[in-house]
C-alpha cells in the first residue's frame, strides 16, 4: 500500500483507435500538454512506425515543454528474428527519441502460433531480443504483455515464459493486458496474486471494457499489487473502449487513499474530460461517473430536500473535488426544495415565500404533464420563475405568423415566413426565407427585432432537438423541441411543446431570445442603478 501508482495515459494512441475518433497532430499536442498539467506520469503519444501522423507528432512533441510527464512511443516486437536490429518498427521507436518506449509482445500461444507462425521458443526469443535491443539504447522499457490474462488462462507456463523473456531483456515494468476485455475481477486478482509470489518486478495493468469491467479490473489489479495503471480519458478506445482514467484516478486517490507519483490536479478532472471530448468532437457522456453533467444532479424532491441539509446523504464525494458541481433539476418529480434551490442559484431567496414555491411546483408539474421538460431547459424555467415574481414580461408580442413551404420552377424547395410583432407599442411587419420552416421563422423573428434589439445578432443556434412524445398518435403526436443557443460565452436551453412542430419550435426560439434580452437588460438596469446611486 505504500507504493505510489504510476498513471499511464494512452488516449493519444489506444484512444484514437476508437470508432469515430480522429485527432490532428495539433490536437494531440494540445491534449499532451493538458495531461501533463493534470499530473499524468507517462503519455503514450502513438505508434511512430505505423503512420505519418504519429511520426509528425513525435517530431513536433520534442518542442513541448512538459512539467513532469514523460512521452512514450508505442510499437510491437520485431517482425522477424533474422533482422531485429534493423527492424523498421524498432528503428521508428528509437527515431521518436522519447525517454520511454512501450512495446507489446504475444503472450497467448493462440496469437504466437496462429498470428505469427512462431514456436514457443521463437516467440520467447523475439520478445527477449526486441526488448534488449531497445534497452541497449538507454530507454525505459514498458513491456505490454498482450492478451496476458487469456494467455495465462489458456497456458499459464507459456504466458509466464514470455514475461520472463521481457524481464531478461531488461524491461523496467511488465504490464498485464486484458486485451479482449473478457476477464473478471476475481480472475485478475487471483492471477496477479499468484504472479507476485514469483515475480519481483513491478507489474502494471492495461484493461479493456468489453465486459464493462475495465475500471473494476484496473482497481482490482492495484489491490493485488500492480503499481502502474493504463487507460484513456473518458474511456475512449477500440471496440467498447479502454479503462477510463476519469473513474480510475478519483477512485484511487479519494476512495482507496493511494498516492500517485506526481501531484494530480484532481479538481481539474472534469475540465480535462470535457476538453478531450471537445477536441475529439464527441458529445460528452452526461451520465459519466465523477465528471458527467448528471453525476451530481438531483431531481426527486426527497433527494433535493436531503442534499440541502447534508450533501453526503445522496453524494458519495464532494463534486468540487473533481471539478464538478451539484445541480438540482426541475421536473414533475420536483418538490418545493427544488424550486427554492434553483431560485437561490439565480440569486432569488424564496425561503420566506412558500406560497410561490408551492404555486410554481404545481405549475411546473402541470406543464410537464402536457409534455414540457425543464430539467434540460433551465432558461425556459427561469423565465417562468421571473414571470411569476413579476420580474419578467416578454420583450415582444407575436400578433400574426404565417409559414409557407415553396417549390420554385427549378424544383428547389424553400420556406418563407411572415411575422407581425408588437414591440414597445410599435408594430413591425416582416418576412424572410429559410432552408426550412423553422429556419425561415428564426430569420424573420431576428429581422423583425433587430431594429429594437441589435444585440440579438450575437445569438447563434447551437443545437436543435425534436422528440415525438407519443408515437402511437402518428402525425397528430405532440412534439417537444429543445433549442440550445449561445452568444459565444454563455449557452442556454429553451423548450417548446405542441402538436405542431413549427409552433413548438417558435415557442423555444421566442424563449431563447427573451431569455438573452432579459439577461442583457436586467444587467443594464442594475449597472445604471449602481451608477446613479454612486
Task: Please give the pLDDT value at position 176.
Answer: 98
Q: 43 pairs with which residues across the strands? A: 9, 71
257 and 147 part of one domain: yes
217 and 316 part of one domain: no
331 and 182 part of one domain: no
Q: Is residue 260 part of a domain?
A: yes
Q: What is the CATH number of the domain that holds 355?
A: 4.10.430.20
pLDDT tens for 191-215 read 999 999 989 999 999 999 999 999 9
Residue 92: is its pLDDT beyond 80?
A: yes
Task: Please give the pLDDT value at position 180.
Answer: 97
301 and 256 part of one domain: no
- Structural domain span for residue 426: 405-449
Give me Rg for the CA atoms of the chain.
Answer: 29
119 and 236 part of one domain: yes
Q: Is residue 415 part of a domain?
A: yes
Residue 35: is its pLDDT beyond 60?
A: yes
199 and 244 part of one domain: yes
Q: What is the CATH number of the domain that holds 186?
A: 3.20.20.70
Task: Please give the pLDDT value at position 293.
Answer: 86
128 and 214 part of one domain: yes
Looking at the structure of the chain, the number of domains it has is 3
418 and 303 part of one domain: no
Q: How far apart are alpha carbons 5 and 260 in whole angstroms? A: 5
178 and 307 part of one domain: no
Last residue of a domain, one of 314, 347, 368: 368
28 and 157 part of one domain: yes
414 and 349 part of one domain: no
**Considering the entire predicted model, what is its pTM?**
0.73
Query: How many residues can be counted in the chain?
Result: 534
Q: Contact, 485 vs 492, CB < 8 A?
A: yes
Instruction: Say what percent of the chain tops pLDDT 90.
Output: 64
Whole-angstrom CA distances from 310 to 250, 251, 313, 324, 350 are 21, 22, 6, 17, 19
Amino acid at each position: 500500500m505504500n507504493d505510489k501508482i504510476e498513471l499511464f495515459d494512452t488516449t493519444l494512441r489506444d484512444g484514437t483507435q476508437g470508432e469515430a475518433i480522429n485527432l490532428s497532430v495539433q490536437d494531440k499536442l494540445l491534449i499532451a500538454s493538458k495531461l501533463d498539467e493534470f499530473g499524468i506520469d507517462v503519455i503514450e503519444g502513438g505508434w511512430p512506425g505505423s503512420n505519418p501522423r504519429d511520426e509528425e507528432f513525435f517530431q513536433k512533441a520534442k518542442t513541448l515543454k512538459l512539467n513532469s510527464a514523460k512521452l512514450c512511443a508505442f510499437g510491437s516486437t520485431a517482425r522477424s528474428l533474422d533482422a531485429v536490429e534493423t527492424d523498421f518498427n524498432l528503428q521508428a521507436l528509437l527515431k521518436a527519441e522519447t525517454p520511454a518506449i512501450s512495446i507489446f509482445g504475444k503472450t497467448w500461444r493462440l496469437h504466437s502460433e496462429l498470428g505469427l507462425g512462431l514456436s514457443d521458443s521463437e516467440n520467447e526469443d523475439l520478445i527477449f531480443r526486441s526488448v534488449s535491443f531497445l534497452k541497449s539504447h538507454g530507454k525505459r522499457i514498458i513491456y505490454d504483455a498482450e492478451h496476458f490474462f487469456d494467455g495465462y488462462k489458456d497456458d499459464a507456463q507459456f504466458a509466464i515464459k514470455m514475461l520472463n523473456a521481457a524481464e531478461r531483456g531488461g524491461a523496467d515494468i511488465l504490464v498485464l493486458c486484458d486485451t479482449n476485455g473478457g476477464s473478471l475481477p476475481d480472475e485478475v486478482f487471483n492471477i496477479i496474486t499468484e504472479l507476485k509470489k514469483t515475480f519481483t518486478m513491478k507489474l502494471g495493468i492495461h484493461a479493456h471494457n468489453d465486459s464493462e469491467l475495465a475500471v473494476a479490473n484496473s482497481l482490482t489489479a492495484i489491490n493485488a499489487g500492480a503499481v502502474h495503471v493504463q487507460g484513456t480519458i473518458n474511456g475512449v478506445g477500440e471496440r467498447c473502449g479502454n479503462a477510463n482514467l476519469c473513474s480510475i484516478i478519483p477512485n484511487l486517490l479519494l476512495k482507496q487513499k493511494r498516492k500517485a507519483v506526481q501531484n494530480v490536479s484532481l479538481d481539474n478532472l472534469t475540465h480535462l474530460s470535457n476538453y478531450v471530448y471537445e477536441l475529439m468532437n464527441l458529445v460528452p457522456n452526461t451520465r459519466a461517473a465523477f465528471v458527467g453533467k448528471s453525476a451530481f444532479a438531483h431531481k426527486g424532491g426527497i433527494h433535493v430536500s436531503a442534499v440541502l441539509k447534508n450533501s453526503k446523504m445522496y453524494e458519495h464525494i464532494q463534486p468540487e473535488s473533481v471539478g464538478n458541481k451539484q445541480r438540482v433539476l426541475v421536473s414533475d418529480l420536483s418538490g418545493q426544495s427544488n424550486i427554492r434551490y434553483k431560485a437561490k442559484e439565480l440569486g432569488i431567496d424564496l425561503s420566506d415565500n412558500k406560497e410561490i414555491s408551492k404555486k410554481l411546483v404545481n405549475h411546473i408539474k402541470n406543464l410537464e404533464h402536457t409534455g414540457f421538460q425543464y430539467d434540460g431547459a433551465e432558461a425556459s424555467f427561469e423565465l417562468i420563475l421571473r414571470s411569476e415574481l413579476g420580474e419578467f414580461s416578454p420583450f415582444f408580442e407575436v400578433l400574426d405568423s404565417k409559414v409557407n413551404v415553396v417549390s420554385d420552377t427549378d424544383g428547389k424547395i424553400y420556406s418563407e415566413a411572415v411575422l407581425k410583432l408588437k414591440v414597445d407599442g410599435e408594430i413591425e411587419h416582416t418576412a424572410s426565407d429559410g432552408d426550412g420552416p423553422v429556419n425561415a421563422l428564426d430569420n424573420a423573428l431576428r429581422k423583425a427585432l433587430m431594429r429594437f434589439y441589435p444585440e440579438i445578432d450575437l445569438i447563434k443556434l447551437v443545437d436543435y432537438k425534436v422528440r415525438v412524445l407519443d408515437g402511437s398518435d402518428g402525425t397528430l403526436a405532440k412534439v417537444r423541441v429543445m433549442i440550445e443557443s449561445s452568444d459565444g460565452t454563455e449557452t442556454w436551453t429553451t423548450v417548446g411543446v405542441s402538436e405542431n412542430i413549427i409552433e413548438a419550435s417558435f415557442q423555444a426560439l421566442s424563449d431563447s431570445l427573451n431569455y438573452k434580452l432579459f439577461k442583457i437588460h436586467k444587467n443594464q438596469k442594475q449597472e445604471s442603478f449602481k451608477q446613479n446611486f454612486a
